Amino acid sequence: MATSFKQIEENLKNEARKLLEDQKVSLVLAYGRGYDENHPVPFVAKVAADVENIVFNEYCTANMARYLVRYPRGTKMAIAVKPADSRAVVQLIQEDKVKREDLILLGIPVIGMKNSKTGEAIDGKTTCGLYNPVLYDVLLGEEIHGQPVDSPYDVLAQYEAMDKDERFAFWKKEFDKCIRCYACRKACPMCYCDPCFIDQNKPKWGDKSPQSHGNLMYHLTRFHHLAGRCIDCGECSRACPVDIPLYLFHKKVARECEEMFGQAAGNSIQDKPVLVNFRVDDSDKILE
């Protein structure tokens, strides 16, 4: 049986309180109440009294790993991590953005998360679909086993089957909707560049106004920069105000990277990100 959200919330509060009281960490990254129950917001507890504001329920989808890089190096932090979030932390450790020894991971096994905008269940169609964190120090609920395990890439089949013109038309229509609010980049734990390439003026990679060509440049390059790094949390797509299914493209690139380089993002802190690595015997076939 999966631990109830209420119980997880209780456990999260207790752990957070203990860590802050014992001064093991200077902050705890978790979730707090938004304008109502169904819209929790990212929340940082800094003193034990803050802990009362922590919540956890099926709408706590935000990936809190997003906030780790905001604090100075060496800050001791605890972070609530759902399965995909834990992969983001692993990936950030691989990229030397945070140090393992500075973190306490409060792992949360999840099932039955929901998209607060649509109310739809969140599963392997829009995320990596794992039930248990890949890395944690404390587990706040019982591990979940015996649930159906679908490949996170199954959803791609229908898009891969499209012919290229059809697929181009599909993406053009989607990218043309983009209003360039950059919520996708803000929500993403792996988008930490400052400045982002699209904000640069010299060289200017793409137009900043929301028009086809600048949008195309922004998105294709962003997919590229996330290649082998995106951990498939799906937050970018949930953050998008115009519902562009960015996750599809990210999944496609992730799958290709896995097939070509034999490694998925955010699985082990021993790994090196695939694009800053190589093997002398990588095959030229990957270029075909």
Where on the chain is the footprint of other proteins (CB under 8 A)?
Answer: 159-160, 164-172, 197, 205, 213, 216-217, 220-221, 223-224, 227-228, 249, 252-253, 256-257, 260-261, 274-280, 282, 284, 286-287
Q: Does 51 bind ligand SF4 (CB under 6 A)?
A: no
Q: Does 241 bind ligand SF4 (CB under 6 A)?
A: yes
Q: Is 13 helix (H, G, I), strand (E, B) or coil?
A: helix
User: Closest distance between ligand SF4 and the C-beta of residue 129, in Å?
Assistant: 12
Structure tokens at 9: 């919330």
Q: Does 193 bind ligand SF4 (CB under 6 A)?
A: no
- For ligand SF4, which is the closer residue by CB, 55 or 187? 187
Q: Does 184 bind ligand SF4 (CB under 6 A)?
A: yes
- Residue 179 interacts, among other proteins, ligand SF4, none and using kind-specific CB cut-offs from 5 to 8 Å, with ligand SF4
Query: What CA–CA distance (Å, rounded) separates 246 from 19?
Result: 37
Q: Does 286 bind ligand SF4 (CB under 6 A)?
A: no
Q: Does 188 bind ligand SF4 (CB under 6 A)?
A: yes
Query: What CA–CA distance (Å, rounded) separates 135 from 269?
Result: 9
Query: What CA–CA distance (Å, rounded) separates 14 from 23?
Result: 14
What are the distances in angstroms from CA 243 to CA 108, 127, 211, 227? 27, 15, 17, 21
- For ligand SF4, which is the closer residue by CB, 122 or 190? 190
CB atoms within 10 A of CB 125: 17
Q: Is 72 helix (H, G, I), strand (E, B) or coil?
A: coil
Query: What CA–CA distance (Å, rounded) separates 145 from 227?
Result: 30
- For ligand SF4, which is the closer residue by CB, 11 or 86? 86
Site for ligand SF4 in 205-234 (CB under 6 A): 226, 230-234
Number of H helices, E strands in the chain: 8, 5
Sequence-separated (6 or more) residues with CB below 8 Å from residue 16: 28, 30, 45, 51, 54, 78, 106
Segment lying near ligand SF4 (by CB under 6 A), choices 44-52, 114-122, 132-140, 180-188:
180-188
- Which member of 121, 181, 193, 275 binds ligand SF4 (CB under 6 A)? 181
CB atoms within 10 A of CB 178: 22
Under rule CB under 6 A, how many of the chain's residues touch ligand SF4? 26
- Residue 197 interacts, among ligand SF4, other proteins, none and using kind-specific CB cut-offs from 5 to 8 Å, with other proteins
Which residues form the interface with ligand SF4 (CB under 6 A)?
Answer: 178-184, 187-190, 226, 230-236, 239-242, 244, 247, 250
